[in-house]
Every structure is written in structure tokens, then in C-alpha cells.
Structure 1
């Protein structure tokens, strides 16, 4: 069975006024359009043709086709014109404990100071749809960060001293705690000012981003936290995977994002919203390393982005060509989404068909097994993982 899905863009302030409209081939609304959600998350579920939410449809009819009553993942189109907050997400165990703690304390689930809005973890991946997609992801190896800080002269000395320890993870955790403590503002301002005037071939992009972030969030300590992070510029079709505890911030571009169905966010700067520093530090993975770029498996022309042992989701991507039919194997309940061209999908068991243009999506029930694809364009298919 194929079930058409539609939804309206969410108008977060960081959203682009043009990227989603251009994708969908329509005039811009004049408002920021940040995300379109194709899922059953109760905060903004997709709508099926008879007007019910996807969550209602799954509860009423999904079982008959082998679909779960609740999807394990949430598929989105994300369009960033300005930086999102620096953030990390909890593990499953941390989410369950934090949610229970805030429930017992009587914190309203929609309260601005609420941290755990559900009891689920939120690993996520994003694939670039625009020609480039800029992000911060993970903490940079300390040798490189020390070279960057050395460019800041006397202003960078307090930061450098905190990163001198032999335990890189402990040094980074303590440094982030200090930057977000509220007691380091004079040093933050001096570091940001020094970065604004610094020049260096190796770190030209990082220094330019620091200036950009400070223009958007003047005086925010997250501008300095960003100097500790990997700057990643994905090319179209490349992907990042963000595991529990990994600091990240999407900066600019259009992408297809897939995550566990959760809304738990621990913020670490570049935001006017609530920052729970102790809880962020409790979930933070402070280990430095390379950017978490995720390479796909490729079978019969279909790329599959998945993480071994992660059962919540995997994402397949096919560049569909007019001269060849494509088959996408399904691993449970799926959502198919087109981001360019025009693609016809055919369910293998029932023969049900749908023609998809950019921004259009369909739910594919698990009894179908395989999706046949013809036409020309980019098709993404979200499924549970392995």
C-alpha cells in the first residue's frame, strides 16, 4: 500500500525563505521555511489524503499492512539560511532517565526550560541536497585546535591553557563548561575579537565562520565553542551521522535529515533558548576526532546510509535515470521522498503506483517488500535500520 503524505513547512527563524520553495517549484511564502516533517511525530505529523494525521492512520489501519502503530524514525527536509544552535542529543538510557525525572518534577512538556520532551534517543543523519551543506560536527583533534588558538595571541591564552592537559576529552569538557558558565564573558569577547582580525590559510574557513556566527549571535559563548569543532562542507549527496552526545550545528544549506523519532535537544550556544549546562555536559561526548562523515554502501546503483546496530533508521538514495529501472529493497515501513525531477514508484506486492515530484512523499507499508522506481530524479527512502 502507498499512502500519500503532505505537510507544511515549519517557520523557525533560522530557516531559508527560498530553499524549500525552490525545491517544491513554487513561489516563496515570504516567511522563513526551515523544515518539512514527513512522519508521525505528534509535534507536527504529516497528513494523509483523507485529512487524518499519519499517526491516526497508523493507529487505525497500519496494522493490517504490517506497519507499526508508531514510526521509529522522523524524515525531514531541512533548509538552513542561518546557523542552528550548537546541540547534542542524549542516549536512550539518558533520555529515559531525564524524561522520568522531569515528569516526576512536574515540568510541563511544552515549558521553555524543559529538556526531555520524550524518552527516546535522537541519533541523526543528514544528506546534502544543495550543492554544498555547511555544518559543525564533533570536536576537532586537539593538535589542530591548538594551532588555531595560537593565531589569537594573548586573547587566546586562557583558552590554550585549559587545553594543555594530556587527557584531551577531559580538557575539552572542562573548557566547554567554562565557556558556558557565564563567568568567562570577558575572555569570550576577547577571543571573538581576536578571531575577527586573525588571518591564516589553514583556518581561513573557520575564522570566516567565527565572524559570521558572531554577526548572527554577538557575544554568544557558542561562537568560541564553535572554534573547538570540526567545520564540514558536504558536497551534494554526502552525509553526516551524529551519534548520541556529539556536538553539532547545521550552518547553511538544504538537506534530507533522518533521525530517531525524538525532540530531545541539549543546547550549547548560538541560541536565545534555554541552555542546561550541567545536563549538556552529562550527555556530551567530549572525545575529539575527525568529522563524522558517513559513507554509504552501494548496491545496484542505490546508496544506503546506515549504522550497524542502529535499528531506528537507514536512508537509501537513488539517482534515478530514464534509461534504467531501479529497485529499492525495503526493510519494514518506509517513506519515499523525491527532491528533484519526477519519479514513479511501484509497490512490488500490490502494484500500487505513485508519481512523485519534489517535496512529495509516500508511506510504503512493510508488506510491499520492494519499491520499483522509474523516471528521472533523486529519490530518498527512509526505513528502519538493521
Structure 2
């Protein structure tokens, strides 16, 4: 069964006024449009376009079992449009999420409390695929020797910076980074202002593009201690069609761009700055992966002409990208492995099921129930299909 879905963009300050609207062929919005959700997550469930006005979570409760859906979807699919930086954040492992959730439940912390860290008992791995030019992000901590080179290039004389440099050169790099992050977020790095001033000073450096990004971060969050943490992180620029996988513990912050994002269905976020929201430094450090090093992009697997799969090592989701350029003949067949959601991002694609079809324009989506097993795609354009992953659950 194919079920058409719709939703309205979520308005966060960091969102773009024209990226999602341009994709959908609308005039620019008067408000930032940050995310467009397609899923049954209770935070902003999609609406089922069957005339009943039901949200997808209600539809699944009413009709899902008869169509092979036995519970909430394990993933959430989004369009994400960033015009300014999001917060630095990390997500827990599944075990950490369960322990943290049970602890806060036992302490009677309201699930909607601003200071709550674990709003559910799930992990939140995620993948972002750039779909419109360059997508800029920070992810993971730079290699130790590169952080040292960057600090040397900045020339800031500060005891905490010197301690970090020594730790990276001679001691345990992970502990050195963790200590510096803790001190930064606690406002205890006396040289923080000097580091930011060095970033903002004109000059030639091999880190010029990185410094330019940090200047944009500082402009969006003046005085935020997370700006200094951002200095230590890898800057990554995704070209159209490239993907970044963020596993548990890896710090990350999306800076700007339009992408398709898929994640496990969870609200568990431990923030590390660049935000007015709650930052629990001890809890963040308990889940944070402080290993320095490069972050590899998630390479897709080509499975058929015009079909590739972004398959991270999680059971919650995989993301299939189908491209059908002008002149493509016949149909493209895609295996589902369970309930799936199709989202068009370019051209016009028709999803053909066993008893019907849905045509999608850019920014439109539909649910595909597990009893379909496989769908065929026609038309000219690009469509992403979110589906369960092949990896066995932990």
C-alpha cells in the first residue's frame, strides 16, 4: 500500500527561508524553515493524505498491523536546511540511552523538562546526504598533530592551550581533548577570548577556510564557549550526493546547506555549545568520543544502474538513492525490507506498488507498507527511500 504524506516545515532560528521552499517550488518563507519531517515521530508526525486528517502515528495505530507495521517506525526521514550553525551535539549509545532514560525516569524528571537529557531509551545515529551544492559541517576532533599545528598557527599563549598542546604531543590525546572541552564549556579557559580573536584576525594560513567557518559560528553565537570547542573539530564540506554518518558519541554541528537526513527515531541529544539550551557538561563527556582523527564519508554501495544505498552499520535504517536522468528507460526496482518512506528531491518520480501508484514532486513523500516488499519507480528525477537496515540489532 502507498500512502501519501505531507507536513509543514519546522521553524528554528538556524533554518533557511528559501532552501526548502525553492525545492518545493514555493516563494521564500517569511520565517526560517529548518526541517521537514516525514515519519511517525510524535514530535511532528506527518499527515496522511487520505481525507481523514490523521497523523501517521495515528494511522499506524489504526491500520498499520494489517499492513505489516507492528510498531513505531525505527527511523525518521527529514529535509534539513541550515542557514546558520546548529548546536554542537553528541548522541548516546543504545546502552547509554537506556541507562540514562531509566535514571531520569526514576528521578521523576519530566520528559519535557528543558534540563532533561534522555527523552527516550533509544540511540540516535544519523546520516546526512547533501542534495543542493556544498553542505558544511563539523564532525569529530581533528587529528592530534593538526590541532597542534592549528594552535601553533594561532600563537595564543595560555596555560590551558599549552596543556592541551603538551597532551596532544606527549600524553593521552583523548584525555587532553576531554579536559580542554570540559574547561571550555565551563568557561575556565582564560585564553578563550584570545583564541577567538586570533580566528577573527586577518591573515594567511592553511586553515583560512576553517577560520572563516569559525568566524561565522562566532557571529551566530558571540561569546558562546562552544566556539572554542568548534576550533578542535574537523570541518567537512559535502558535495552534492556525498554523505556523512554520525555514530554514537561523535560530536558534530551542521553549519549550512540543504540535505536529506535520516536517523534513528530518538530525541536524545547531549549538547556541547552553540546553543541557549541546556548543556550538561559531565553527561556530555560521559558519552563523548574524544578520539582525534579524520572522519570518513559514508560511501554508497551501487546496486543497480542509478541506484545506490547508504548503509551505515546500524539496524535502524538505510537510505536508498534512486536517480533517473533524462533518457532513462523502463522502471527501477527497489527492495524495501520493511516499511519505507519515499521522498522526492528532484524532477517527478512515480512510485508504483502492487495496487496503485503515487507521483511525487520535489519535497513530497509517501509511506510504503511492508506488504509491498518491492516497488518500481518511473519518471525523471531523484528520490530517496528510507528503509530498515540489514545489520542485526545489538
TM-score range, shorter chain: over 0.9
2:130–2:241 Cα contact (<8 Å) kept: yes
- The partner residue of 1:212 within 182, 205, 216 is 216
Mapped contact 1:151–1:198 kept (Cα < 8 A):
no
Match of 1:101 among 96, 100, 103: 103
**Gaps in structure 1 of 5+ consecutive residues:** none
| Offset, 1:168 | 1.4
Query: Does the CA-based 8 Å contact 1:198-1:207 persist in structure 2?
Result: no
The aligned counterpart of 1:316 is 320
Q: Deviations over 1:65-85 (max 9, x none)?
A: 112321000000000000000
Give the counterpart of 2:58 among 56, 59, 70: 56
Structure 1 residues 26-62: Cα deviation after superposition (integer angstroms, max 9, x where no partner): 1123000000110011111011022111111111111
Give, in angstroms, the shift of residue 154 of structure 1: 3.1
Distance in 1 of aligned mates of 2:138 and 2:191: 22
> 1:333–1:364: 8 Å Cα contact kept in structure 2?
yes
Question: Matches of 2:157 and 2:324 in 1, distance apart?
Answer: 53
Output the CA distance in 2 between the equivalents of 1:44 and 1:204: 39
Select 1:179's aligned residue among 168, 175, 184.
Answer: 184
Equivalent residues of 1:122, 1:262 under 8 A apart: yes
Over 3 Å counting, the alpha-carbon distance change for 1:155 and 1:30 in structure 2 is: farther
Is the Cα contact below 8 Å between 1:150 and 1:156 reproduced in 2? no
State the shift of 1:364 in Å: 0.4
| 1:1-386 equivalences in 2 (<5 Å) | 1-49=1-49, 50-155=52-157, 158-165=160-167, 166-184=171-189, 186-197=190-201, 199-301=203-305, 302-308=307-313, 310-322=314-326, 323-324=328-329, 325-347=331-353, 350-386=354-390
For residue 131 of structure 1, give the secondary structure of its aligned residue in structure 2: coil
SS in 1 for 2:320: strand
What's the CA shift for 1:292? 3.5
Contact 2:10–2:33, Cα closer than 8 Å, also in 1? yes
Taking the aligned partners of 1:221 and 1:256, their CA distance within structure 2 comes to 29
> TM-score normalized by structure 2?
0.94
CA–CA separation in structure 1 for the residues paired with 2:16 and 2:36: 12
The answer to which of 197-206 and 186-195 deviates more is 197-206
Count of aligned pairs between the two proteins: 382
Deviation at 1:212, TM superposition (A): 1.1
CA distance in 1, matches of 2:371, 2:114: 41
Please identify, of 163-172 and 134-143, the stretch whose mean Cα deviation from structure 2 is larger. Answer: 163-172
User: Residues 137 and 247 of structure 1 are in contact (CA less than 8 Å); yes or no, is this contact kept in structure 2?
Assistant: yes
Quote the Cα distance in structure 1 between the aligned partners of 2:332 and 2:134.
26
Check 1:160–1:327 CA distance in 2 against 1; reply closer, same or farther (3 A cut).
farther
Shift in Å at residue 198 of structure 1?
5.4
Runs of 4+ in 1 over 6 A off after TM superposition: none
Q: Give the alignment's Cα RMSD to 1 decimal.
A: 1.2
Q: Is the 8 A contact 1:126 1:239 kept in 2?
A: yes
SS where residue 188 of structure 2 aligns?
A: coil
SS of equivalent residue, structure 2 residue 161: helix
- In the alignment, is the contact (CA less than 8 A) between 1:340 and 1:358 conserved in 2? yes
- Give, in whole Å, the separation in 2 of the partners of 1:231 and 1:258: 21
Any idea what the Cα deviations from partners look like across 1:353-382, whole Å, max 9, x if unmatched? 010001110100111111211111110000
Aligned residue for 2:104, secondary structure, equals helix
TM-score, with structure 1 as normaliser: 0.96
